[in-house]
C-alpha cells in the first residue's frame, strides 16, 4: 500500500514539474514570437506597398482571398474600450514568468495565476499550452467569455478586466477566498451560505432577464462561485454561457446546442434533448442549494434529500459545521431546491419570481436581521 502511494506521489510530482516547465517554455516562445512579429511587420511595411503595386490583378485577388481565409481561421476579437488588452510579455511579467507559487487554481480551460497589473492584484486564466492552443480549439470558449462578460455589470458576477489575445488569457479581479466549495469545506456559517445563495439568485435573475439578449450560464456549480475577502460571492466561468436573442412579446429562453456542463449539475432534459433553457440554470442552482444546505457533494444528493423528507429527518441532513440552522425554514428551502431539480421543467420555480423564492428571502431576512430584502436590490 505504501509503495503504491509513493509511486502515485512520485508520478504527480513528475507531471507537475513537466507542466511547469512547459508553461515556462510557452512564455519564452511567446516573448520571442512578439519580437519576431514586430521585426517582420517593420520589414513587411517597408515593401508591402511596392509589392502589391507590381502584382497582376489575379495575384492581388489570390492574396486578398488568402488574407480573408486566415482571418476566418484566426479571428481577432473586437475588444470593447473598457476591457484592457495586454501582450503576453505583460502577462509573463505580472505572474513572474508563471512562477509556480503564483498558481492559485486549475480548471478545464487551464491554470489560473495570481499576478499584478498596473498595481492591482488580478487573477489570470491561461489556456493550456498543449493541444487546445495549437488547434485554436479553445478560442470559441475564450471568445464566448469575452463577449458575455464585457457586456455584463453586476455586483455578484465576476469582473473581466482585460485579455491577451495572443495566448487566449483572461484577466479578472482577484477574489482571495477561493470558491464556494472551499468555503463549505472550511465550515462557512449558515448565515453566509444563505446570503451567498441570495446573491447568486440575483446574478442568475440578472442574466435571464437581460433584453433583448438573455444569457444562460450553462455551468453553474460550487467551483464557479468565487468569494472575495469578505465572502461576498461572484459568479464566474462564462466560457460555456449562451446568449439567446429574445423576440418581442416572448418570454421563453431556449437555445439548441450540444450538451455541455458538469455531470451532477447538468439538466437531464438538456442532456437528452440539447435544448438549453433558463430552467437548465435553475436545475443546477437547485443542486447548489442542496450542497450548501447539506455540505454533501454526492451526485445523488437530490435522492438523499427526498429520502430525508420522507423519513422526517431533514435536520440530520443539514450541515452541522454551518452552525444551528433555523430548522423549519431550512427544510422549506430544501423542498424548493428539490423543485428546482424536478424532471419536468414547467414544475421548476422561475428564478425572477419573488413568490417562488420566498423561503430563501425569509432565511435571508433572518440571517441579516433586516426587515425586508429583495433580490432586485442586487445585495
Q: Which residues are catalytic?
A: 219
Reduced to 3 states, what is the DSSP secondary structure of residue 243? strand
Question: Which residue is listed with cell 510557452?
Answer: 26
Residue 42 to residue 6: CA distance in whole angstroms: 54
Reduced to 3 states, what is the DSSP secondary structure of residue 218? coil
Neighbours of 342 (CB within 10 A): 16
Determine whether 363 is exposed, middle or buried from the number of CB atoms within 10 Å of its CB (0-12, 13-18, 19+). buried
Chain centre to alpha carbon of residue 95:
21
Letter string b/e over residues 251-275, b meaning 16 or more CB atoms within 10 A of that residue's CB: eebebeeeeebbeebbbebbeeeeb
Strands 111-117 and 225-227: unpaired
Residues 258/241, Cβ–Cβ less than 8 Å: no
Sheet (strand 84-85) strand order: 84-85, 160-164, 169-173, 120-125, 111-117, 103-106
Q: Which helix (DSSP H) or strand (DSSP E) does residue 245 occupy?
A: strand 242-245
Q: Which helix (DSSP H) or strand (DSSP E) does residue 72 occupy?
A: helix 57-73
Reduced to 3 states, what is the DSSP secondary structure of residue 22? helix
Amino acid at each position: 500500500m505504501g509503495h503504491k502511494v509513493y509511486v502515485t506521489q512520485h508520478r504527480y510530482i513528475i507531471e507537475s514539474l513537466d507542466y511547469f516547465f512547459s508553461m515556462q517554455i510557452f512564455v519564452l516562445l511567446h516573448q520571442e514570437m512578439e519580437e519576431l512579429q514586430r521585426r517582420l511587420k517593420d520589414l513587411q511595411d517597408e515593401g508591402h506597398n511596392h509589392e502589391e503595386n507590381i502584382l497582376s490583378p489575379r495575384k492581388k485577388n489570390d492574396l486578398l482571398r488568402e488574407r480573408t481565409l486566415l482571418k476566418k481561421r484566426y479571428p481577432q476579437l473586437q475588444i470593447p474600450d473598457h476591457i484592457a488588452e495586454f501582450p503576453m510579455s505583460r502577462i509573463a511579467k505580472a505572474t513572474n514568468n508563471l512562477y509556480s507559487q503564483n498558481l492559485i487554481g486549475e480548471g478545464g480551460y487551464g491554470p489560473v495565476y495570481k499576478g499584478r497589473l498596473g498595481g492591482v492584484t488580478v487573477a489570470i486564466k491561461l489556456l493550456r499550452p498543449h493541444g487546445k492552443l495549437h488547434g485554436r480549439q479553445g478560442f470559441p470558449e475564450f471568445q464566448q467569455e469575452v463577449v458575455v462578460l464585457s457586456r455584463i455589470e453586476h455586483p455578484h458576477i465576476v469582473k473581466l478586466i482585460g485579455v491577451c489575445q495572443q495566448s487566449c488569457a483572461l484577466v479578472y479581479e482577484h477574489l482571495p477566498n477561493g470558491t464556494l466549495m472551499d468555503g463549505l469545506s472550511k465550515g462557512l456559517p449558515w448565515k453566509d451560505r444563505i446570503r451567498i445563495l441570495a446573491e447568486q439568485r440575483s446574478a442568475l435573475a440578472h442574466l435571464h432577464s437581460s433584453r433583448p439578449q438573455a444569457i444562460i450560464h450553462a455551468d453553474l456549480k460550487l467551483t464557479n462561485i468565487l468569494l472575495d475577502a469578505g465572502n461576498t460571492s461572484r459568479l464566474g466561468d462564462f466560457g460555456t454561457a449562451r446568449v439567446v436573442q429574445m423576440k418581442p412579446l416572448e418570454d421563453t429562453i431556449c437555445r439548441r446546442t450540444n450538451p455541455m456542463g458538469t455531470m451532477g449539475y447538468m439538466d437531464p432534459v438538456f442532456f437528452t434533448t440539447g435544448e438549453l433553457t433558463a430552467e437548465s440554470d435553475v436545475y443546477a442552482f437547485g443542486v447548489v442549494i442542496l450542497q450548501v444546505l447539506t455540505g454533501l457533494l454526492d451526485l445523488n444528493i437530490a435522492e438523499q434529500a427526498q429520502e430525508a423528507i420522507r423519513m422526517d429527518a431533514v435536520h440530520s441532513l443539514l450541515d452541522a459545521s454551518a452552525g444551528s440552522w433555523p430548522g423549519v425554514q431550512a427544510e422549506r428551502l430544501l423542498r424548493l431546491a428539490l423543485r428546482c431539480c424536478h424532471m419536468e421543467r414547467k414544475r421548476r420555480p422561475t428564478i425572477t419570481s419573488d413568490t417562488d423564492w420566498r423561503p430563501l428571502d425569509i432565511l435571508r431576512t433572518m440571517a441579516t436581521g433586516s426587515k425586508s430584502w429583495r433580490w432586485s436590490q442586487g445585495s
